[in-house]
Structure 1
Amino acid sequence: MEEKNRYYVVTKKAVPEVLLKVVEAKRLLESAKASTVQEAADMVGISRSSFYKYKDDIFPFHDNAKGKTITFMIQMDDETGLLSDVLHIVADYHANILTIHQSIPINGIASLTLSVEILATTGDISAMMQDIEIQCGVQYIKILARE
């Protein structure tokens, strides 16, 4: 059986330099200070392949996440009640659901895009993601955006 992702919060000093440079390159691209991945990679001193290897796996954790919106993409089996179970987990963590979009299932797999607002009462987002990911029928979860 495939092992599910686990999420950790670590201090900056424990993160390898290449990962910190990937975060910086992503920031340069998002702020339009770099117009291409190659330009951003050159500016921070990493290879383009290092950027692509880690870009989906590292992002800054902001202590001021309260009041922010996080958008998740979840791939899950087309099973009765699974969407309800996922939404129940979000409710248990006291996050406010802003939008839900579920695609028509193809080959028994549905893609769900879920945007949630992080409230002052919202629990640990990493734990929420992990609780969703371990649900039977959830194949994949990824943070698409943090606003």
Structure 2
Amino acid sequence: MRNTSKYYLVDASVLPKVFIKVVEAKRILASGAIKNVNEAVRKVGISRSAYYKYKDHIFPFYETSQGKVITLFFTVEDYAGILSSIINRIADSKANIITINQNIPINGLADVTITIETGQMTRDIKDLLDDISSIEGVKRQEILARE
């Protein structure tokens, strides 16, 4: 039998609250703050049946990127050490850097493309990008592609 699943990227604000609560319960369980499903669903305010119905079908965007190849794009100010800072943050998260490309700076800004493999990452991609955006001189960042 062929898998006919279709996937959509949807803004959380338009989803029924039960989906958001299922994701929250999964996050609580994954963090180890609560050890069993009963406590987690009670804490977020959903039934066990709702949790089990949706838990395998809804994921935060960053969670679906685990074990994937992701191409990141940055626009950075041209000064010594900024690329090194970005690479160090990626390395600290245990992502495997596959390629790095930095264009020649124009008007004090350079475009950088970094492709990473996320299988061994110790944090989610959203946290990594938030961390990189806090580096002084990083002006823009985005995910260009995911495989």
**Do these two structures clear the TM 0.5 threshold for a shared fold by scoring above it?**
yes
Listed as ranges, the matches of 1:106-125 within 5 Å are 106-125=106-125
Question: What do the CA deviations read for 1:27-54 (whole angstroms, capped 9, x no partner)?
Answer: xxxxxxxxxxxxxxxxxxxxxxxxxxxx
Task: Give SS of 1:15's match.
Answer: helix
Match of 1:83 in 2: 83
Percent identical: 41
Match of 1:74 in 2: 74
For structure 2, the residue ranges without an aligned partner over 5 or more in a row are: 1-9, 16-59
**More divergent stretch after superposition (112-121 vs 72-81):** 112-121
TM-score by length of 2: 0.58
For structure 1, the residue ranges without an aligned partner over 5 or more in a row are: 1-11, 18-59
Answer with 1 or 2: which has the greater Rg.
2
Q: Calculate the aligned-residue CA RMSD, in Å.
A: 2.0
Task: Report the residue type matching 1:99 in the other structure.
Answer: T
- Is 1:16 aligned to 2:2, yes or no? no
TM-score by length of 1: 0.58
Match of 1:57 in 2: none
For residues 109 and 15 of structure 1, the distance between their equivalents in structure 2, rounded to whole angstroms, comes to 35
Would the alpha carbon gap of residues 121 and 13 (structure 1) be closer, same or farther in structure 2, given more than 3 Å must change? Answer: closer
1:67 CA drift (Å): 2.0
Runs of 4+ in 1 over 4 A off after TM superposition: none
- Is 1:102 aligned to 2:121, yes or no? no
The size of the alignment, in residue pairs, is: 94
The answer (yes or no) to whether the contact 2:76–2:137 under 8 Å persists in 1 is: yes
